[in-house]
Chain A
Amino acid sequence: MTVENYLLYVVTPIISLAFIIILLRFLKGPRMYDRIVAMDLLITSGLGLIGVFSIYYNDSVFLDVATVMAVIGFLSTIAFAYYLDKEDITRK
């Protein structure tokens, strides 16, 4: 069994299952904060999937995409926290 087959048939389904489970919380989340946390975890798991893809296609250009996505995930979470703190929205 080569590395590529193992990644395609074992690792990628596990991460995809994780995506589906996180998406349940994203749809269900009772408050806005739960959705923000689920979105942050979706972006971070996407980083893992990009790493697996860069091994599978033997192409390191995907890692630049991973860098940009890490920055976007961090900045989006910080922006949501900052503006929710400023607006003082209480959604219960």
Chain B
Amino acid sequence: MILLDIVIMVMCTIGAVFILIAALGVTRMPDFYTRLSVTVKASTMGVGFILLAAMIYFFEFSISTKILAIIFFLYITSPVAAFMISNTAYKTGVKLWDKSVVDELKDADFNKNNDNIEEEKS
């Protein structure tokens, strides 16, 4: 019982520290895209650790399935949301940091995007 308490404490602390690192990153990073990357990775890891600690604490079948569903949903949807918001930001002209090395979408012409969609339909 005491061992399980120690495991719960350690996992909650790791999750909270991950969330704090994500908060520091979203405040201190110089660019929109670096902020986004820090946010997604660290926040899903932090919430995953805290919810796994809750799963160990309750130790029932119904609650465990609920928590695993939440973690699965977060791991599926968080990169999708990050991709959508970064794609929109790049299209509407949010610039990269000055010291960024790789810009793979530099040559892509987003002004013709609507035409491409129409061509795919026809």
Report whether B53 and A18 are in contact in the complex, using a CB–CB cutoff of 8 Å: no
Binding site for A on B (CB under 8 A): 5, 8-9, 12-13, 15-17, 19-20, 22-24, 26-27, 32, 35-36, 39, 43-44, 46-47, 50-51, 53-54, 57-58, 60, 63, 66-67, 69-70, 73-74, 77-78, 80-81, 84-85, 87-89, 91-94
B9 pairs with A31, CB closer than 8 A:
no
Closest B residue by C-beta to A82:
B84
Are B19 and A81 neighbours in the complex by a CB distance under 8 Å? no
Interface SS majority for chain A:
helix
- Pair count A-B, CB < 8 A: 158
Q: Which residue of B lies closest to A41 (CB)?
A: B39
In the complex, which residues of chain B have a beta carbon less than 8 angstroms from the beta carbon of A67? 66, 69-70, 73
Report the Cα distance A31→B63, complex, angstroms: 40
Nearest 4 A/B pairs, CB to CB: A18-B23, A81-B84, A21-B23, A14-B16
Interface residue from A24, A64, A77 paired with B85 (Cβ < 8 Å): A77
User: Contacting B81 at CB < 8 Å: which of A18, A33, A47, A78?
Assistant: A78
Closest residue of A by beta carbon distance from B35: A37
Interface pair B53/A41, CB less than 8 Å apart: no
Q: Please classify how large the interface on chain A is, using the bins under 10, 10 to 19, 20 to 34, 35 or more.
A: 35 or more
B12 touches A55 (CB 8 A): yes
By the criterion CB–CB under 8 Å, are A14 and B17 in contact? yes
Set of chain A residues within 8 Å of B27, measured between Cβ atoms = 21-22, 24-25
Which residues of B lie under 8 Å from residue A64 when comparing CB positions?
Answer: 66
The verdict on A44 contacting B47 (CB below 8 Å), with A3-B8, A54-B54, A78-B81 known, is yes
Partner of B9 from the list A3, A36, A44 (CB cut-off 8 Å) is A3
